[in-house]
Amino acid sequence: MRVQRFLSTNFRNLASGEIEFAPGLNFLVGENGQGKTNLLEAVYFFRFGRSFRAAADTEMIHFDETFCRAEVDASFSDGHSETFAFSVEHKGPKTIKVDGQVLARRSALAGRFPAVLFGPADLRIVSGEPDHRRRFFDMVGTMTEPAYLRSARDYRRALEQRNAALKARAGRDEIAAWNERLVESGVDLIARRRELVALMEIEMTAHAGEVHSPFDFAMRYETTLHDAAEHAAEITQEATLTRAFHDRLAEVAREEARRGVTLVGPHRDDVLFSMAGQDLRRYGSQGQRRLFAVLLKMAELSYLETELREPCVLLLDDVFSEFDASIMARLQRTLDGTRQVFVTSPVAIDDVHAPGARFYNVSKGSISAA
């Protein structure tokens, strides 16, 4: 996919108007706070129909304005083009359109706008709490497989309704009914996450070999459906997972009733990132965790492009100033001309060369060709 034209009105501090981009490498250069990341935010919005940094959609509206709008003309490898647009109002609904047709739900965007974003905040996937890792893998999975999206949605709904029943101190029969829905959707979600983690590990291992990584990295899905003492015993079969889920729910029933919240299930699972068999989050150095983050995003990129059969737009947000030269040498392998890339930087970058690269100055929300 290629972003050919971008248009915005009242989106954060970006000057209203339109701009065209090169099909290859696009450098956005400007001091911090000038609007570089705002442009990436607006483009990336169409991957899932939401911002990667705003807690509320209305945060994207420029100060003293009542609405914002952004539009992207995108071309695809098979020759067709589509126009993606969204608008947000302070006192109205968010609207997302593709070729002028309003989407009934933002999940309809899944897989239609292949883009990968990588910035310093992605280090939280490696170093942060488990919810960062769960969210990362679920975002990748729902991009490529409609069944994954349905499974994640069904589990979230069952979890919300079961938690509501627990808070309302519902009777055993009602909780038991929600248990069935929770287990059915939860077991399916665990199986899909496990498969995705295994596939992503293959991709990451390949990238590690390409850049001659000196570290032996691995990742493994960890479920709350067994105790730490049973860690070595893998729970893989659906029937075994189902039985383990029901057993764990029975074990924590009293505590759940007391606290009014579901304590076991895929919403509390994690993905263990390791180096030479040791927990990378606990024992890895900052440099090792950063290298893992680069390899993980490279794995996401190659996995999505293989599954979607479409080059992704790659958005690199200020990574050239945040990471050291050795990591950047690895990351530059993604700038190979097979995909469109947007790179933001507070300073001009002189040591990256690519045919057809285009440079833009970003100042006070205004974007102009250098």
pLDDT in tens, the chain (370 residues): 999 999 999 999 999 999 999 999 999 999 999 999 999 999 999 999 999 999 999 999 999 999 999 999 999 999 999 999 999 999 888 999 999 999 999 999 999 999 999 988 899 999 999 999 999 999 999 999 999 999 999 999 999 999 999 999 999 999 999 999 999 999 999 999 999 999 999 999 998 888 778 889 999 999 988 653 344 345 557 888 899 999 999 999 999 999 999 999 999 999 999 998 999 999 999 889 988 998 999 999 999 999 999 999 999 998 876 666 666 666 666 666 789 999 999 887 766 666 678 999 999 999 999 8
Q: How far apart are CA 17 and CA 366, in angstroms?
A: 9
Confidence at residue 227, expressed as pLDDT on a 0 to 100 scale: 52
Confidence at residue 228, expressed as pLDDT on a 0 to 100 scale: 37
Residue pair 68/61 in contact by the 8 Å Cβ criterion: yes
What is the C-alpha R_g of the chain? 22
Buried b (16+ CB within 10 A) or exposed e, 156-182: eebbeebbebbeeebeeeebeebbebb
Structure tokens given for 200: 């992503």
* Measured torsion, CA atoms of residues 356, 344, 335, 137, in degrees rounded to the nearest 10: -140
Pairing of strands 101-102, 95-98: antiparallel
Question: What single DSSP character describes residue 256?
Answer: H
Q: How far apart are CA 232 and CA 220, in angstroms?
A: 12
Set out the domains of the chain in order of their start, with CATH numbers.
1-114+311-370 (3.40.50.300), 128-309 (1.20.1050.90)
> Per-residue DSSP letters for 280-327?
HHHH--HHHHHHHHHHHHHHHHHHHHHHHTSPPEEEEESHHHHS-HHH
Confidence at residue 225, expressed as pLDDT on a 0 to 100 scale: 87
pLDDT tens digits, one per residue of 285-305: 988 998 899 899 999 999 999
